[in-house]
Amino acid sequence: MLMFQEIQARGHEQVTVVHHAPSGLRAVIAVHSSVLGPAIAGCRLMPYEEDRALRDALALSESLTYKAALAGLNLGGGACILLAPEGGDFELHGREALFRALGRQVRLLGGRLVLTEDVGVVGNDIAYAAQETSHTLGMNTDTPAVTAYGVYRGMKAAARYHLGGESMRGVRVAILGAGSVGRALATHLLREGAKITVADLKPEKAALLAEDLEGPITVTNADAIFDAPCDIFSPCGFGHSIRSPNVPRLQAKMIAGGEHNPLTPRGQALLKEAGIVYIPDFAINAAGLIAASSGASAEEAAERVYQNVLHLNLQSSRTGRAPHEVARELAAHRIRLIGSLGSMSNER
């Protein structure tokens, strides 16, 4: 990857690589935009190759910029990708040391970035970082559960335009990813009478979800699910779940899920050509961020997602633009407008 070319093309303000050998800290911290406010940075801890860690930091931070802007938050977009320690295990007090070391690095950024949890990171981890920096949030929010409820409500909003009504009764939903978000989403959908097909890269997780939840659930594998007949395909994994070569296999009318960056720009273009509606991740999975940053309840945060998805689909129907294109334009428009206020004099 041509690193500096990619950073410049995406418009990032700052990308920092940090390392602290005693604690095992190895991380990429990216600030895409701080125009609207400090960059909210979802912190991920997973086994990563170094090149993939940088790519994901750039993509996630850009996505957070648009998510915060579209949600009406005074926050920018950031990301923090932690490379898991070799072997994947922590020694005694190792996790505390890792996140406190990270907290010190965040403190050095002087408030430009605010740390919150993402995949592989929980509230206790952010609490460790908070011992070293005040620039954290989300420790008291069940982010996956709130995110899943927002995705469910966003699906209903989109279904009004693309499935003939917002009821999920009888709607076939294929969920790729049986983690905390996918499981909570399936629970909401089953309660309303949807028919679920589920898959995960770890098949035992999908099987356990089907065993634990009551309702019409079909378990398949993470490749076969692309051929599953469905109305909605819902990626709820860790990113890049829908590879461009798999787009022609999709049976769905709509893509809507909790996953960040499930598609490349090429994949989004292929979906549009195929006549499949993509409700963008940064619009539909924003409820967790809204709740964590504003103190809104799960219901309030999900209602904001519902209204935002309604609005972008209304604008899409009026302009003939795809919903994911409209969403990006609306977010970019807010960033430009609010950013322009910085050129105004403070004098009265």
Binding site annotation covers 237? no
Binding site annotation covers 179? yes
Q: Are 233 and 151 in contact (CB under 8 A)?
A: no
Query: In 221-342, which residue ranges form alpha helices assigned H by DSSP?
Result: 265-274, 281-284, 287-294, 298-319, 323-340
Q: What is the pTM of this model?
A: 0.91
Q: Are 196 and 186 in contact (CB under 8 A)?
A: yes
Find, among 78, 82, 25, the residue nearest to 52 by Cα: 82
pLDDT at residue 87, as a whole number: 61
Binding site annotation covers 178? yes
pLDDT at residue 160, as a whole number: 97
**Amino acid identity, position 339:** G
Would you call 51 exposed, middle or buried from its count of C-beta atoms within 10 A (0-12, 13-18, 19+)?
A: exposed
Find, among 96, 97, 80, the residue nearest to 43 by Cα: 80
pLDDT at residue 140, as a whole number: 66
For residues 137 and 121, give the distance between their C-alpha atoms in angstroms, rounded to a whole number.
13
Binding site annotation covers 180? yes
Q: Which residues contact 321 (CB under 8 A, 6 or more apart)?
A: 315, 329
Q: Give the 3-state secondary structure of residue 178.
A: coil
| Span 31-47, pLDDT tens digits | 999 999 999 999 999 88
Binding site annotation covers 177? yes
Strand locations in the chain (E): 14-20, 25-33, 39-46, 76-83, 113-117, 172-176, 195-199, 217-219, 232-235, 254-255, 277-278
Tokens of 95: 């996790």
| Span 149-189, pLDDT tens digits | 999 999 999 999 999 999 999 999 999 999 999 999 999 99
**In the chain, pLDDT over 70 holds for what percent of residues?**
96
| Domains of the chain (ranges, CATH numbers) | 3-130 (3.40.50.10860), 143-333 (3.40.50.720)
pLDDT at residue 214, as a whole number: 82
pLDDT at residue 256, as a whole number: 98
pLDDT at residue 118, as a whole number: 87
* Full pLDDT tens readout for the chain, 348 residues: 567 888 888 889 999 999 999 999 999 999 999 999 999 999 999 888 888 999 999 999 999 999 999 999 999 999 999 998 776 567 678 899 999 999 999 999 999 999 998 888 888 899 999 999 999 987 666 888 999 999 999 999 999 999 999 999 999 999 999 999 999 999 999 999 999 999 999 999 999 999 999 889 999 999 999 999 999 999 999 888 999 999 999 999 999 999 999 999 999 999 999 999 999 999 999 999 999 898 899 999 999 999 999 999 999 999 999 999 999 999 999 999 998 887 555 544
Count H helices, E strands: the chain? 12, 11
